[in-house]
Structure 1
Amino acid sequence: MNGSTRSEPVGVILAVDPDRFADVVEAARGAGLTVTGEQPILGTLSGTIAEDRIAALRAVDGVESVDRDRAIGLPPPDSPIQ
């Protein structure tokens, strides 16, 4: 087993300090985040990162929370209640 194997990237959504948004985004990129969306007014951003780098992302000064991106499937509006 090779110790240099990287874990698969996962989608994440971050809440960050909106007053330092640009600086926090750059620091998050430095921790390994590939940014896919920025919402500076809301103080959130989304992106992907290797699963083994999530702890480093949480440690970035100005990152308030890191949540995994999740897909939720809903039945069509005309389907019966289940």
Structure 2
Amino acid sequence: MTEPSRGEPVGVVLAVDPDRFAEVVEALRREGLTVTGEQPLLGTLSGTVAAERIAALEAVDGVESVDRELTFRLPPPDSPIQ
């Protein structure tokens, strides 16, 4: 798993209040989130943000959770270590 450096955008998945979805998404954008996908009926969205801004996203009223996307890199199939 690779850790991004500070200031480098990281992927995040957020759960928000579905009854206030548009309002919460707009507040998240003001905090620096670049939205890459929205699922308003489920109350979830995905996006990218500078790593140091994650706490600001968590503090937005209507945000239920913020999870960082995890990236795993597997060795090539012909690698001696599997």
Quote the residue 2:77 is aligned against.
Answer: none
* RMSD of aligned alpha carbons: 1.7
Question: Are residues 61 and 7 of structure 1, via their aligned partners in 2, closer, same or farther at CA, if it must alter by over 3 Å?
Answer: same
Segments of 5+ residues of structure 2 without an aligned counterpart are: 1-5, 75-81
C-alpha displacement of 1:8:
0.4
Cα deviation, residue 64, structure 1:
0.4
The CA deviation string for residues 27-78 of structure 1, in whole angstroms up to 9 with x for no partner, is 000010000000001100000000010000000000000001124579xxxx
- Superposition TM-score, scaled by structure 2 size: 0.79
Does 2:81 match 1:51?
no
Q: Which has the larger radius of gyration?
A: 1
Q: Counterpart of 2:41 in 1: which secondary structure?
A: coil
Q: Deviation above 6 Å: which 4+ runs of structure 1?
A: none
Instruction: Flag the 1:7–1:73 CA change in 2: closer, same or farther, 3 A.
Output: closer
Over the matched positions of the two proteins, sequence identity in percent amounts to 77
What are structure 1's unaligned runs of at least 5 residues?
1-5, 75-81
What is the TM-score when the length of structure 1 is the normalising length? 0.79
